[in-house]
């Protein structure tokens, strides 16, 4: 499945926007070549580029990432990076 990145998590203080702007945002513009995220690999927190290689990426956003999609508000879609 690949590596998962967290790009917004208020508990970890990880934001791509200040939280008060993130909550009311209708559109978020990002620069894919600069978007940083957090991955947890073997219990270690690693920061890195989210879109490091060309290819297909699954975007998953949810109110609660620790439950099944049927039990929380969520969005899922694919993007292709060239």
Alpha-carbon gap, residue 70 to 3, rounded angstroms: 22
- Taking only the tens of pLDDT, the chain with its 82 residues reads 577 777 777 777 777 777 777 778 888 788 888 888 888 889 898 888 888 888 998 887 777 767 777 777 777 888 888 8
The answer to whether the Cα torsion of 67, 62, 64, 48 is positive or negative is: positive
Q: Kindly report the average pLDDT of the chain as a whole number.
A: 80
């Amino acid at each position: 499945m690949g590596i998962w990145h967290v790009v917004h998590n208020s508990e970890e203080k990880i934001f791509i926007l200040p939280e008060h702007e993130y909550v009311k945002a209708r559109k978020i513009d990002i620069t894919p070549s600069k978007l940083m995220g957090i991955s947890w690999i073997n219990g270690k927190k690693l920061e890195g580029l989210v879109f490091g290689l060309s290819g297909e990426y699954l975007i998953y956003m949810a109110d609660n990432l620790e439950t099944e999609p049927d039990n929380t508000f969520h969005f899922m879609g694919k993007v292709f990076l060239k």
